[in-house]
Structure 1
């Protein structure tokens, strides 16, 4: 079986790698081609072009890069046609992926799967209209998503979230991490300002000031910043003046397994996290790390999205657990004073911390912890679609 995959950001790269591993388990002769990052390349795919070119988020941020994205779209469609693929799997990044599928459908009826249902439950409910006729099947990460897709006329399976299958560090790993970085018994704050350059640039000053205000109340905090490789240099530049003697975990030049192992150990050693909104909240919940979520965007994007938002929280832990235990500060509310106050409450033992622990357990159970690995579940659906049985 020949499978063409497209991923446009680190979270999609993770999904793609797990899917590829599952497909290889089903059929070791499976051939892969497409666009992806280091994790997908480690599973046997050479990316058509650097995945980072597609890591653009926000309406205002996308507009200046449209010409280049259209060029990459055309190159990708041509590559798919030439690949002889039995199925095309696009992974998240809908602004790019759906453009590829729309143009592809003009030339080919190869079966298509879109991995990650669009969050129509949150905003832009008409996004499914763009998928009808060009997407044959949708793979959902969240258990409440299939009905939204099916109402729009799209076949959909909930396959679980890959975070439930990722290995976790243990107490010994956490202790080793603390020793290696001379952390002693200091409260460790994870700071995760995002994996895109725009996110890091916008959030770093707010994160730094929030941590500075937290350090007034708890001067012994230490800050650990796991950086994504594409933004590691930028992260180092921004955290120089942060409090807590920041330790940047830079994966560049490290073997992939070693970099991931160090990141997992950091999560295990952490007492609290300050994170940008996104799938990282699920990683933190999987590792039982209490958190505060903060996010801001370009002014125009912020106003447009705020007007369209249909839910009162965007934090996935809150949504999946059907609680509101994780404090979040978005857009105009992304203020250091409030963020620092929430961090202080969550860092110290109390009702807020206990409530987050319960919500994390519920979230992991509902996302499929203990069931068949999500990547393998997704692979079975992709193989079925490739054979013409949607």
Structure 2
């Protein structure tokens, strides 16, 4: 059996790598082709081109790269059709992936398509599910409340759990070693700075996050900051932070990142999957996010929910403070971080929300990558 997988950003690469591992354990001899990042490449995928080319988000951000992305869509669809794959598995990145799927289905209406990560139709643009159903047969959902939305649109769907629950966490010894290596005293406050995994996010949020942490340092003079990053933006991050008044510790190695998450007392993070990673490490957080003005305006019109932070949504609380759009301002973000440092009750509320979130996402159960693999194989067997 051969499968064609497409991932377009760092979080999708993690999902793809775990899915590949699960498929290899359940269906020995399975072969893979497609597009992925370092995690999927480490499992043997030879990426058609660099995954980072697809890590673009937002209407305004996509426009300058539209022609190049359109060419990559056509190239990828041709590669799918020529691959001999039994099915196409698209992983998140719907703007790219579903356009590829549409071209594939136009050429081969019977070609089986599976999409990993349900679109957040519960948050905005509910019509996306019906549109997706035109080219997708089966969906692997990360959140427990998503299958009914997909099934109502005509696709089969399984909740497979969120991969964050299966990711390794740093031991107490690794946390202590991280602090010792970077000369951070055991009682010295440590903050994570997480301005995103896309270049546009880092450019837009990085300076604001830096200023917020500088303001926090005025109240907590001993504060140290660590900035975990990923391959596609590590060069930009190192160049940008070298100009910051107090440069953070920049880490890219996976083990260092795990240790940093475990060692941190607080985090200032972009909206996205990282909030669940922080929940897994039980790190209290503040969320900040902004987009280009046109994108911000259009999203604002369409948004149906009052919070975008996944911990808040899954736990059905509003425990994590978030500062979105014009509200993504260094002053209020610094104040919210200080509240988490100084107010034990604020931390306790977040800890309870994080515990509930991880429970609902499948912590302690079968690894989501394996559950996703079972769902894929069961779907392919049903379709013969």
TM-score range relative to shorter protein: over 0.9
Aligned partners of 2:85, 2:342: CA distance in 1, in Å?
53
The Cα RMSD (Å) is 1.2
Alignment partner of 1:271 is 2:265: yes
Query: Which of 267, 288, 297 is matched with 2:291 structurally?
Result: 297
Equivalent-residue separation in structure 2 for 1:182 and 1:195 (angstroms): 27
CA shift digits 1:321-353 (9 cap, x unpaired): 000000000001111110000000112342110
In structure 2, distance between residues paired with 1:325 and 1:362: 12
Task: Determine if contact 2:130/2:154 at 8 Å carries over to the other structure.
Answer: no
Contact 2:196 / 2:269 at 8 angstroms: preserved in 1?
yes
Q: Which residue of the partner structure matches residue 216 of structure 1?
A: 218
| Aligned counterpart, 1:101 | 101
Indicate if the aligned counterparts of 2:118 and 2:140 stay in contact, CA closer than 8 A: yes
Unaligned ranges ≥5, structure 1: 252-258
Q: Which residue of 1 aligns with 2:250?
A: 248
Q: Which residue of 1 aligns with 2:318?
A: 324
Q: How does 1:241-390 map to 2 (within 5 A)?
A: 241-242=243-244, 245-249=247-251, 251=252, 259-389=253-383
CA distance in 1, matches of 2:70, 2:246: 44
- The 8 Å contact of residues 111 and 388 in structure 1, kept in 2 or not, is answered as no
Tell me whether 347-356 or 297-306 shows the greater mean CA deviation. 347-356
What's 1:121 paired with?
122
1:267-302 residue CA offsets vs partner (Å, 9 max, x unmatched):
111000000000000000000000000011101101
Secondary structure in 1 matching 2:351: helix
Distance 1:79 1:388, change over 3 A: farther
**In structure 2, how many angstroms separate the alpha carbons of the residues matched to 1:243 and 1:266?**
21
Aligned residues: 382
1:203 corresponds to which of 194, 205, 211: 205
Cα distance 1:243–1:365, how it changes in 2: closer, same or farther (>3 A)? farther
Assess if the C-alpha contact under 8 Å between 1:211 and 1:242 holds in 2.
no
Gap change, CA 1:241 and 1:347, over 3 Å in 2: farther
- SS of the counterpart of 1:138? strand
Flag as ranges the 4+ runs of structure 1 deviating above 3 A.
241-245
Please say if residues 73 and 96 of structure 1, whose CA atoms lie closer than 8 Å, have aligned partners that are also in contact. Answer: yes
Q: In the alignment, what sits opposite 1:254?
A: none
Separation (CA, whole Å) in 1 of partners of 2:133 and 2:27: 29
Helix, strand or coil: the match of 1:306?
helix
1:380, 1:69 → 2: CA distance?
32
- Match of residue 183 from structure 1: 184
Report the Cα offset of residue 64 of structure 1. 1.9
- Deviation at residue 385 of structure 1 after TM alignment: 2.2
1:36 is matched with 36
2:87 paired with 1:87 = yes
Q: Is the 8 A contact 1:206 1:336 kept in 2?
A: yes
Counterpart residue number, 2:143: 142
Q: State the shift of 1:129 in Å.
A: 2.3
- After TM superposition, the structure 1 stretch with the greater mean CA deviation from structure 2, 61-70 or 283-292, is 61-70
Offset at residue 387 of structure 1 (A): 2.7
Alpha-carbon distance, 1:243 to partner: 5.4
CA–CA distance in structure 2, aligned partners of residues 237 and 79 of structure 1: 36
Deviation at 1:229, TM superposition (A): 1.4
In 2, Cα distance between equivalents of 1:174 and 1:211 = 22
* SS of equivalent residue, structure 1 residue 384: helix
Partners of 1:63 and 1:95 in 2: CA distance? 12
2: CA distance, partners of 1:57 / 1:223: 27
Partners of 2:363 and 2:122 lie apart in 1 by 23
Output the CA distance in 2 between the equivalents of 1:236 and 1:133: 43
Counterparts in 2 of 1:90 and 1:82: CA distance versus 1, 3 Å: same
2:10 aligns to what? 10
What TM-score do the two structures reach when normalised by structure 1? Answer: 0.96
Partner of residue 57, structure 2: 57
> 1:237 is paired with a residue of what secondary structure?
helix
Contact 2:4 2:32 in 1 (8 A): yes
Q: Distance in 1 between matches of 2:247 and 2:342?
A: 20
- For residues 55-99 of structure 1, the C-alpha deviation after alignment (integer angstroms, 9 at most, x for no partner) is 010011112212111111111111111111111100000001110
Task: Show the counterpart of 2:175.
Answer: 174
